[in-house]
């Protein structure tokens, strides 16, 4: 089954929603790192990543289990995350070398992604911003419990993003009110 992922990934509304988060290119973040570490511990996955998908590239907001010099950014055509963005559904790959969606993907070798499971990270309006995923260097049969944990923590990551956006909106409104009050006094 071929998935036409490019239109969904490049959708201007989705990309604008991602940019509004202010998270692209920010690097490691303790809150997201803790969620990812929890997922990896509970699932028993050796590697994981919280990825953001812009119009052209997928980059890590948080990652664990990779060698220190690993650059966790790639063009979208080399990222399993594109399928989650395109379909809005989780992607569960027990053996990426034999799955027709991923069999020739360079991520298999570059990130030792012989198996991969990922869920969407969304904003409050349903825009898919990226994925919360775990992977293994060998084929892995992800259990129902593994997938439940992953789905729950992806929702927690989405809620963290929504909370940060709400705080930013409140702060902006506060500064706007203060500016109006100052202008009135003068």
What does pTM read for this prediction?
0.87
Whole-angstrom CA distances from 84 to 2, 16, 34, 126 are 13, 18, 22, 13
Rounded Cα–Cα distance for residues 6 and 85 (Å): 9
Residue 185, pLDDT score: 67
User: Which residues does the chain have with pLDDT short of 50?
Assistant: 1
Non-local (6+) Cβ contacts of 156 within 8 A are 35
Residue 186, pLDDT score: 63
Structural domains in the chain, CATH included, are: 6-185 (3.30.450.40)
Residue 174, pLDDT score: 67
Residue 2, pLDDT score: 56
């Amino acid at each position: 089954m071929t998935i036409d992922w490019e239109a969904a990934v490049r959708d201007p509304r989705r990309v604008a929603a991602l940019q509004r988060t202010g998270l692209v290119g920010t690097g490691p973040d303790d809150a997201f790192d803790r969620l990812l570490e929890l997922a990896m511990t509970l699932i028993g996955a050796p590697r994981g990543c919280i990825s953001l998908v812009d119009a052209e590239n997928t980059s890590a907001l948080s990652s664990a289990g990779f060698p220190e010099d690993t650059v966790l950014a790639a063009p979208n055509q080399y990222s399993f995350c594109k399928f989650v963005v395109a379909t809005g559904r989780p992607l569960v790959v027990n053996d990426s070398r034999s799955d027709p969606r991923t069999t020739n993907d360079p991520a298999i070798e570059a990130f030792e992604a012989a198996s991969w499971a990922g869920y969407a990270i969304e904003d409050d309006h349903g825009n898919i911003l990226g994925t919360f995923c775990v992977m293994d260097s060998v084929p892995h049969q992800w259990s129902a419990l593994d997938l439940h944990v992953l789905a729950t923590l992806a929702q927690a990551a989405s809620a963290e993003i929504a909370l940060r956006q709400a705080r930013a909106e409140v702060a902006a409104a506060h500064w706007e009110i203060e500016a109006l009050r100052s202008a009135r006094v003068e």
